[in-house]
Amino acid sequence: DTEVTQTPKHLVMGMTNKKSLKCEQHMGHRAMYWYKQKAKKPPELMFVYSYEKLSINESVPSRFSPECPNSSLLNLHLHALQPEDSALYLCASSHAGTFHTEAFFGQGTRLTVV
Amino acid sequence: SQQGEEDPQALSIQEGENATMNCSYKTSINNLQWYRQNSGRGLVHLILIRSNEREKHSGRLRVTLDTSKKSSSLLITASRAADTASYFCATDRRGSQGNLIFGKGTKLSVKP
């Protein structure tokens, strides 16, 4: 199984809502990532978890809150988002503890904030 | 922040032709990777070239890396309509594991 599964595929939320994005992998990867991608732009790294611990936070606003409950799951909790947060949110995973490893990406959640 | 810069930003070719995309980066790297993205969905890993390698092949893909010029190229030979996608180079930050910084990407269109 070389899949990273993200749910939901699409999400529309109001600025006062609280929602969560979910990501799951069963490849035994101990590094997991959240990326944000705006239209016609490259993915931008948001968070990195390594061995279930947050290792990198790329100065992301606190309205985005990541969580890694176990080695297979990664969540992104959303609260009080702004319309400019509308984007494709991509989860990825890879082996940890090595420089030369490919990342496996999910299909993304397309988020619209209204 | 973006590390890699691809050119061209867009490339349109006929089926059967070769497509070449270039990527430049700014800092020292452990490796450089190329990814493909169809229609704004998930990215698919194509190939990884380590900083001590100069050339690598995988099927119809050929990647070169010139660390002295901080640049890489991706060649797709005998292109097919199914190769139509956006292609991104990605570098890791030296000293930081598995933490990819993507270039701006090249949008490739292959006409049947």
Digit-coded pLDDT (tens) for A2-11? 799 999 999 9
Tens digit of each residue's pLDDT (9 = 90 or more) over B51-60: 999 999 999 9
- Structure confidence at residue B27 (pLDDT): 86
Contact state of A108 with B42 under an 8 Å Cβ cutoff: yes
Q: Could you tell me the CA-to-CA distances from B41 to A9, A55, A89, B6, B108 in Å, in that order?
A: 10, 26, 10, 19, 15
Query: Is the model more confident about A61 or about A1?
Result: A61
Query: Is the model more confident about A100 or about B95?
Result: A100
- Structure confidence at residue B96 (pLDDT): 62
- Structure confidence at residue B1 (pLDDT): 43
What is the CA angle A79-A80-A83, rounded to 5? 115
Nearest to A99 among B92, B102, B105 (CB): B92
Contact state of B43 with A105 under an 8 Å Cβ cutoff: yes
pLDDT above 90 for B94: no
- Structure confidence at residue B34 (pLDDT): 97
Mean pLDDT of all residues in chain A? Answer: 94
Q: What is the dihedral of CA B4, A21, A77, A72, to 10 degrees?
A: -80
| CB-side neighbour CA atoms (13 Å) of A14 | 2
Going by the DSSP 8-state scheme, the letter that residue B103 receives in this structure is -
Nearest to A96 among B33, B43, B97 (CB): B97
Confidence of residue A85 (pLDDT cuts 50, 70, 90): very high
Confidence of residue B4 (pLDDT cuts 50, 70, 90): low
Beta-strand ranges (E) seen in A1-114 are 4-7, 10-13, 18-25, 31-37, 44-50, 53-57, 64-70, 73-79, 87-94, 104-105, 109-113
Contact state of B40 with A103 under an 8 Å Cβ cutoff: no
Min distance A79 CA to chain B CA atoms (Å)? 24
- Residue A72 structure tokens: 């297979």
End-to-end CA, chain A: 36
> What whole-number distance in Å separates Cα of residue A67 and Cα of residue A59?
16
pLDDT above 60 for B86: yes
pLDDT above 70 for A63: yes
B101/A contact by beta carbon, under 8 A: yes
pLDDT above 80 for B99: no
